[in-house]
């Protein structure tokens, strides 16, 4: 292996490790110190393999089990994301984050397979990528 390649490989390993540490750090709960907890429920639908067609109505669902007693921001909002970019398209907002589902209309967007949703309560939580087709 050339020295250059090993530098690149080491550089990659180091940055990946830092990324993992950052994730662990943000995942450590600070509850108990605060009366109100940041709450980011996981999206359960749509999931990987889901195909939506424009104009259809669907229930976006998320898991509300284990939610903290006191939540900083009870109002949810759902953004559409494509690839690594959160689009300006809002599928729903001002709903109670503890409902666990909200009916949305599939927007008229370029058909593709790399859409996902961001459910915002206190901070964003991404769904897996899924398809929107015409």
Tell how far CA 103 is from the center of its chain: 17
By beta-carbon proximity to ligand NAG, the closer residue of 35 and 54 is: 35
Radius of gyration of the chain (CA): 18
Q: With residue 25 as reference, give the H or E element that holds it.
A: helix 3-27
φ, ψ of residue 62 to 5 degrees: the values are: -150, 160
Nearest approach, Cβ of 121 to ligand NAG (angstroms)? 16
Least Cβ distance, residue 23 to ligand NAG (angstroms): 25
Question: C-beta of 127: minimal distance to ligand NAG in Å?
Answer: 17
Q: Residue 40: count other Cβ atoms within 10 Å of its Cβ.
A: 17
**Strand, coil or helix: 48:** coil
Element (H, E) at 82: strand 75-82
The footprint of ligand NAG (CB under 6 A) covers: 35, 57-59, 69-70, 101, 103
* Of residues 56 and 133, the one with the C-beta less far from ligand NAG: 56
86 vs 95, beta carbon nearer ligand NAG: 95
Q: Judge contact between 93 and 49, C-beta under 8 A.
A: no
Question: What is the nearest approach in angstroms of ligand NAG to the Cβ of residue 104?
Answer: 9
Nearer to ligand NAG, 80 or 102 (CB): 102
């Amino acid at each position: 292996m050339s020295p250059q390649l090993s530098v690149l490989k080491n550089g990659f390993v180091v940055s990946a490790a830092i990324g993992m540490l950052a994730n662990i750090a943000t995942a450590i709960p600070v509850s108990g110190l605060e009366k109100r907890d940041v709450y980011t429920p996981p999206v359960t639908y749509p999931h990987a393999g889901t195909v939506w067609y424009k104009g259809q109505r669907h229930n976006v669902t998320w898991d509300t089990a284990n939610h903290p007693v006191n939540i900083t921001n009870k109002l949810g909002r759902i953004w559409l994301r494509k690839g690594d970019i959160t689009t300006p398209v809002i599928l729903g907002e001002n709903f109670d984050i503890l409902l666990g589902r909200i009916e949305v209309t599939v927007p008229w967007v370029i058909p593709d397979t790399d859409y996902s949703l961001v459910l915002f309560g206190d901070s964003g939580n991404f769904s897996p990528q899924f398809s929107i087709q015409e």
